[in-house]
Amino acid sequence: MKQDQLEGGCACGHVRYRLRSAPMFAQCCHCRDCQRQVGSAFVVNALIETDRIEVKGTVPEAVSMPTDSGRPHDVYRCTACRTAVWSDYGRRPSLRFVRVCTLDDPSLIEPAAHIFTRSKLPWVDLPKGVPAFPIYYDMAALWPAESLERRRAILGDV
């Protein structure tokens, strides 16, 4: 995957961004919070270091979202069209969850896991061969070693 392919933005074009590297991991979340926030059955997030996102144009603004867990969740939205381009789960400023479908070519990043399938809508069929978890998974067992090191470098934990 070439770096110039990992570009995306909001619906109106005010926010444009480029990922400076491949993400650490991509996952499809079926939790009720995500379903409500995106108005769909699930969201596909690509986890990447914040400093590897190059913003071109308008910088999206953080909008604090209510969650069932009570944990902080800020969704970064275009100030004009309000498209959600990425999130910060847990107020960790060094980590972003980029909304894969805001990429110009979202087919470039496939989710490596499905999470919170306990709230998956019954008419959604999960692909065979992709790990699925009722809640979450053991990151150390699922993530590639390089991605775990990248995460450890910014958060100090795994």
- How many whole angstroms separate alpha carbon 95 and alpha carbon 154? 8
pLDDT digits (tens, 9 = 90+) for 44-69: 999 999 999 999 999 999 999 888 78
Given this model, what pLDDT does residue 74 score?
Answer: 94
Secondary structure letter of residue 156 according to DSSP: S
Which residues are CB-neighbours of 29 under 8 A, at least 6 positions away? 42, 43, 44, 45, 114, 115, 116
pLDDT digits (tens, 9 = 90+) for 90-139: 999 999 999 999 999 999 999 999 999 999 999 999 999 999 999 999 99
pLDDT digits (tens, 9 = 90+) for 6-22: 999 999 999 999 999 99
- Predicted confidence band of residue 41 (pLDDT cuts 50, 70, 90): very high
CA neighbor of 76 nearest in space, from 66, 64, 68, 86: 86
Q: Is 39 left (phi over 0), alpha (psi -120 to 50) or beta?
A: left
Secondary structure letter of residue 58 according to DSSP: S
pTM: 0.93
Q: Regarding the domain delimited by 3-155, which CATH topology (the fold level of the hierarchy) does it fall under? A: glutathione-dependent formaldehyde- activating enzyme (gfa) (3.90.1590)
Beta strands per DSSP E along the chain: 7-9, 15-19, 25-29, 43-49, 53-57, 61-64, 73-77, 84-89, 95-99, 113-115
Given this model, what pLDDT does residue 66 score?
Answer: 80
> Is the pLDDT assigned to residue 3 strictly greater than 70?
no
Secondary structure letter of residue 103 according to DSSP: B
Contact 102, 85 (CB under 8 A): yes
